[in-house]
Amino acid sequence: MSNSAKRCGDILIEEWESEEPFFDAELARERSKGQAQVGVAQPRRILDALENNSVHSCPSSSNTLLAVYENGVMVGGLRGAASLALLAWFGLLPALGLIVAGLYCFYIIGRMGHSVFQEPVLAGGFFLIGLGAIVFGVSGFSVLFRGLVLMPSDFPVIFNRSTKEVWVAVPRMPSFFRIFEIHPVKFECYSWASLKPRTYRIFEVTPGASSARWAYILTLVFARESDPKKVSCEVNIGFKGWGDDFELLQLWEHIRRYMNDGGPALDQGEKFKTFSTGRLPKFPDEAMAALGRKLSESEPWGVPNA
């Protein structure tokens, strides 16, 4: 959930809680291999970028904006809304343990000396166990280290009000086998008109399986230009809502008014997001050039409507 204290107003859109009404759910599920939302979960609410109907009476950036420019805004993604899971950090310890165990196996082989030739089966067993432990330990450590340390701290989304374009940063999981590959990020550009957002309610088990809860997310779903019934990309933005999607709808209404109605990038007194902003991905030069000059925190309050 955001740290915003501006939780006020009313939700102006009804719940959907039924099957996906627009996209081909089966194709979407196959495209994402069941790892995304369309075709897997039922939409909580159906939103639309081009509709002029308000979804909330009190829009708010909910402290999710990373930066504001003359022609657009940069909104934080879901990864930057929470600290990295503690269990993921603890995953480094077993990986290191496997490496140490593998090295110890080779130490035992070295201590056996010439008896290695007298007991080749035992020596071969230690060799295979040691080699496997080192390979899996190094690969696991590499995946976790790149995922926790080298990956960007957030995957933001750029909304350009001037060009009506939306730029997204799409991450790829680090390879288990290519241990020295730096984690790449792919950038994709979509039209504002192809965007069909949804909110979803998902059942989430907390780290350590100590408890479970319902969480709400705001998902940007982009349709293919050539075939609007097919999903081209799904990106989660903002934060997770606990208990309801009230503040997520405030955030979407803020974005919708900014893009369609010339609304402010920041409301009076709102601040930029400061959490998880240390390692942001570098968007293509064309995307940044189209945004224009970067504004200070107080300037967006007085920026004239576009």
Q: In whole angstroms, what is the distance from residue 129 CA to residue 125 CA? A: 6
For residue 244, what are the contacts with CB-CB under 8 A and spacing of at least 6?
216
The predicted structure's pLDDT at residue 290:
94
pLDDT tens digit at each of 306 positions of the chain: 555 557 788 999 998 878 888 888 787 777 766 667 776 788 899 998 887 889 999 999 888 999 999 999 999 987 644 445 555 556 677 888 888 888 888 888 888 877 777 788 888 888 898 888 888 888 877 777 766 666 777 889 999 999 999 999 887 766 666 666 666 688 999 999 999 999 998 887 765 556 777 889 999 999 998 888 888 888 999 988 888 899 999 999 999 999 999 888 888 778 888 765 567 888 999 999 999 999 887 776 555 454
Q: Looking at residue 81, what is its pLDDT?
A: 45
Q: What are phi and psi of 32, to 5 degrees?
A: -90, 0
d(Cα 224, Cα 188) in Å, to the nearest integer?
Answer: 12
Strand 165-171 and strand 185-191: pairing? antiparallel
**How many CA atoms, within 13 angstroms, populate the side-chain half-sphere of residue 246?**
13
Tell me the pairing of strands 198-205 and 185-191. Answer: unpaired
Task: Indicate the burial class of 212 (C-beta count within 10 angstroms; 0-12, 13-18, 19 or more).
Answer: exposed
pLDDT score for 285: 94
How far apart CA 192 and CA 77 sit, in angstroms, is 17
H helix intervals, 113-183: 115-118, 120-145
pLDDT digits (tens, 9 = 90+) for 60-111: 988 899 999 999 999 998 764 444 555 555 667 788 888 888 888 888 888 8
- Cα–Cα nearest to 300, from 154, 161, 163: 161
Length of the chain: 306
| 153, 218 contact by CB (below 8 A) | no
